[in-house]
Chains A and B, each alone.
Chain A
Amino acid sequence: MIKVVELKDLTLGYNKVLFSGINATAHEGELIAIIGPNGMGKSTLLKSISSIIGVMGGEISLFAKSVDSYSHKEIANVLSLVPSNSPRTGNLSLFDMISAGTYNRTGWMGSLDEAERQNVLAVIEKVGLERYVYSDSSKLSDGEFQRAAIARSLVQQSKIILLDEPTAFLDIENKSLIIKLLKSIARNEGKTVIFSTHDLPLAIQMCDKIWVMGHGGFFEGTPNQLIEEGVFDTMFKDSSLRFDKKLLTLL
C-alpha cells in the first residue's frame, strides 16, 4: 500500500511546544480518527498537515514528498481540508458554494464548463443534497451544511481529505450519516480520510485506525489494538477515567 501521509517525529506548536513525538502513517483508502482531549492540538495537526501553519520540528510527507516542497496550488491538488464550523454565506446557492472546490481547475473568472457542472451536480447527489441545488446554502440544517462542506472538498478531487470535528454539534443520526459517508469515500474511491472527533465509540466502531493525542503521548493503531493496550486510559489527566475493555466493546 502507498504511504499517503507520513508524520516523522513531529512537534506541533508556535513559539511554544504544543505536542511532540508524533509518528504516524496513513495509507490509501484508510479512514482515520484523531482522538484526544480538548486543546491537545488536533486542529493544529490537521492545519499543519495542510501546510496552513508550520511545525516546530519533524517532517510531514505527502506521497513521500515533504509538504514544504509543495506550492499552494499543488497542496490543494492532493489535499483538501474541511475546517470546523465553516462560515455560512447568505444568498449563496448550494451549487455556487460547492463549486468553490473547483478553484484550482477553473480559469481567471472561476466559471464552470459543462463537464465541471455535471461533476458538481454528481457530488451533490452523492452527499444526498440534490433537493437543494439552488437553495440558499446558509439556510441548510447543521447536518446538511456539514455534508455540503464535505461535498465542496470532494469537488476538489484530492486524494487526501482532512476534516476538523465534522460531527460536532450533530445528532446521532446525522453523525452516523457523516461517518458512513466518509467511510464510503475512503472505501469506494480509495481516498485517505483523516478526521478529528470526540466521539470515541463512533471512531472505534467505524475507523480503520485511530491516532490518539492524549496526556500519555501519541499512539497509533487499530481500535482493537489500542483497547488491548489500554491506551485510552492514559488519554486524560484524570487517571480515574477508565475505559474498560467491556465498556468500549459495549459502546
Chain B
Amino acid sequence: MANLKKLNKMLHIFKLSLPTTKMAKVGSNSRYLYKYAIATLCFAILLAANILLGSVSIPASDSISALLGNSTPDYVREIIWSFRVPKAITALLAGLALSICGLQMQTLFRNPLADPFILGISAGAGLGVALFVMGSSAFGIDISSSAYASFGMAAAGWTGAMGITLLIMAVSSRLKDNLSLLIFGIMSGSAVTAVISLLQYFSSSASLKSFVLWTMGSFSGLNQDQIYILTIMVICGLALSIYNIKDLNALLAGETYAKSLGVNLQFTRIRILTASTLLAGSITAFCGPVGFIGIAVPHISRMIFKNADHKVLLPATAILGAAIMLFTDTVSQLPGHSTVLPVNTVSALIGIPVILMIILKRKMQ
C-alpha cells in the first residue's frame, strides 16, 4: 500500500495514477490458497516438533527411525509410540475441535467473546467429573487406579456436557432470539459451577486434588481405545460443522434476514449445539477444560485470512487450531526438563499476549 502511494507520487508527474483502492480487497478466490499452504506447513513442522521434543531427550534420528518402524532401542520406541504420538494426536484433535466450535459460537451469537464453553459445556463436564471423583471416594473406590479413573472421568464428563446441552436445546425452542439463548446458557453454566464449588467444599483432599488436576488440562494418559473414541466423536462433530457452513454464512446477515431467507433457526441452533457437544464436550471430558484456544484461534484465522466466509474460515480455523495447540503442548512439556506444566496455564500465558498484541496493532492502524 505504501509502495503503491510512492509509485503514484512518481507517476503524478506524468498525470497518471494507479487505482489506490481505499478499501482492501477481501475474499477473492486465489488470495488465500498460499495462506493455506503456509498454515499447513506450520502445522506439519509443529507436529514433528511435538513428537521429536519432550522431557526425555532422544536424538532426532532415533525418533524418526522409531516412527518409521526401523530398529531402535526399546525405550525410544516405547516413548514415541506409547506416549508422544498419542499425545500429539490428542493435542491436534483438541486444537481443531475447540477452535471450530468457538468459531461457530462466535457466529451464532454474533459475539467476539463467545467460546466453546459459553453455554456451560465445560461446567456440565466439570459437574460430571466432580460427581464421579467425589462419588468414588464416598463409596471407597480407589480413584488412583488409572485405567478406571481416566475412563470413568471421561464418561462422566461427557455425560455432564451432554446433559447441559440437552437442557439448553430443550429450552432453546422456546426462546425467540439468540441473545436469550446466550443469557440462558451463561446462567445455567454459572449455576452448575456453583454446584461444583459446593461439592468441592465438602470433598476430601484426595478427590479434590484429582478434580483440580482435571481442570488444569492434559493431553497425556489417553490409551488407544480412548483415542479411537475421541477421534470418532471429533470427526462426527467436524462433519456436522461442515454441514453447518451454509447456515453460518446466512447468519452473518443477521437473524431477522436469515429467517426471511428461509433459514430454520431452531434447527440450525440444534445442529450447532450438537456439533459443539461432539467437539468441545468430548475434548473437555477427556482432556479437561482447555481454555483460550477456542476463543482466540477464530480471531487469529480471521486476521490472517481476511475472509468472513465460513467456507474459507472453517478449514483455516481447523488447521491453525491444531497447529497452535501442538505448539502450546510442546512448550508445556518443557523439552529437556523433567517437569511438565499444565496445558491450561501455558495456553493462557502464550496466547493472551499474542491476542493483545494483535488487537493493539489493529487499533494503532
Contacts and interface: CB of A to CB of B under 8 A. Distances in A.
B: contact size bracket: 20 to 34
A72 B24 CA distance: 36
B308 A96 contact: yes
Contacts of B261: 76, 80, 100-101, 103-104, 156
A: contact size bracket: 35 or more
A135 interface: yes
A100 B252 contact: yes
With a 10 A CB-CB cut-off, give which of B21, B28, B253, B263 has the most chain A CB atoms: B253
A225 interface: no
Nearest to A136: B26
B25 A86 contact: no
B23 A52 contact: no
Interface string A203-224: 0000000000000000000000
Contacts of B307: 91-93, 96
Contact of B260 (A52, A108, A111): A52
A72 B256 contact: no
Nearest to B29: A134
B318 to A, nearest CB: 16
B256 A47 contact: yes
A180 interface: no
A72 B261 CA distance: 8
Contacts of A90: 302, 308
B245 interface: yes
Nearest to A83: B256
Given A96-B27, A103-B263, A134-B27, A86 B253 contact: yes
With a 10 A CB-CB cut-off, give which of B21, B27, B243 has the most chain A CB atoms: B27
Contact of B23 (A47, A79, A136): A136
With a 10 A CB-CB cut-off, give which of A82, A91, A101, A134 has the most chain B CB atoms: A91
Contacts of A31: none
B257 interface: yes
A100 B25 contact: no
Interface of A: 47, 50, 52, 72-73, 75-77, 79-83, 86-87, 89-93, 95-97, 100-101, 103-104, 106, 108-111, 132, 134-136, 139, 152, 156
Given A73-B262, A93-B25, A96-B307, 18 more contacts: A72-B262, A83-B256, A87-B254, A89-B308, A91-B302, A91-B307, A91-B308, A92-B307, A97-B252, A103-B246, A108-B243, A109-B246, A109-B311, A134-B28, A135-B25, A136-B26, A152-B257, A156-B261
